[in-house]
Amino acid sequence: MKIVVMDGYALNPGDLSWKGFEDLGELTVYERTPYNDEGKETVRRAKGAQALLINKTPMTRKVIEQLAPELQYIGVLATGYNVVDLEAAQEYGVTVTNVPAYSTTAVAQFTMALLLELCHRIGDHSRAAKAGRWAQSPDFCYWDSPLIELCGKTMGIIGYGRIGKGVARLASAFGMKVIAYTRSGRGDEFARPVSLEELFAESDVISLHCPLFPETKGIICKENIAKMKDGVFILNTSRGPLIVPEDLAEALESGKVAGAAVDVLESEPPRADDPLLLQPGCIVTPHIAWAPKESRQRLMDIAVENLRRFLAKDPQNVVEP
């Protein structure tokens, strides 16, 4: 079997091994595949392959139909699979798999790291101390922003899947009260289920962990921000388009939102004038919550097993239209 990895660098910048895939067939790895030519380079590199492994390389109908009938399998090296035209894949008999749940622990941990940074601005204070501020201080200590204790505050989680539940457990360990909004309406011992309106009204911190659907796109917007407490914190480690960036930037500017921290933006890589990049009250990290080595190794192992199971005619983690 000819196996081609279209954009392997994000998963494996050199600290993991591709051997699991090498054991399953003839492997070619491209670190990145440009997609500014309507997929011509994708088709050129993937021509004749029976299995493609992709992260963000778009698999459009136009690309899939040019790779058929040789192409049998597309393995998405991520949980989200919106880059694949699933209807076209099904039409041409191409099995598509993804990798769920590999980054639950990492993203939950990162979410709390963002919250703690908002509460203490550790990076800013460290840089200031090293620049001489502490040495020049007339007092034994100083702080440049409010220091916030989490115990007793209310964490509102929008989307209560694996990651949302992981965040709830960690927030509970900090002594926070946790409420959650989810389509199922179910909570557990860590989180009390509430309506979205209740969550906006009660939360001191709102953390986004829901998928990007038409009904969740722009869920953090001017109208909903107006329903929130003054001084709320907003976290996003899910999908950038859940937030209307102009509306959040305006709320940060006015002080309605005291701080925000996001690991994802509306477009990635972002445009240089993205309002959240330009807003001092917003911490922005470059979509790295998922990326500890342990998490990426887990992703690699599951992706290899997905292809192995497909070859054994016992596929797992199949996604369909």
Amino acid identity, position 269: P
Amino acid identity, position 123: G
| Residue-wise DSSP of 128-169 | HHHTTTTTT-SSS---SS-----TT-EEEEE--SHHHHHHHH
Cα–Cα distance, 182 to 211 (Å, whole number): 11
Has 209 been annotated as catalytic?
no
Has 239 been annotated as catalytic?
yes
Burial 19-57 (b: 16+ CB within 10 A, else e): ebbeebeebebbeebebeeebebbbebbeebbbbbbbbb
Through-space distance between the first and last CA atoms of the chain, rounded to whole angstroms: 26
Contact partners, residue 75, CB within 8 Å, separation at least 6: 51, 52, 53, 54, 96, 97, 303, 306, 307
Active-site residue identified among 162, 169, 287, 308? 287
Active-site residue identified among 239, 266, 296, 298? 239
What residue has token string 């204790």? 149
Amino acid identity, position 23: D
Residue in 102, 162, 3, 86 with CA at minimum distance from that of residue 319: 86
Cα–Cα distance, 105 to 297 (Å, whole number): 13
Has 308 been annotated as catalytic?
no
The number of residues in the chain equals 321
Tell me phi and psi for residue 199, to 5 degrees. -60, -45
Answer whether 137's CB lies under 8 Å from 166's CB: no
Angle between helices 293-311 and 104-120 (to 10 degrees): 160
- Give the residue numbers marked as catalytic: 239, 268, 287
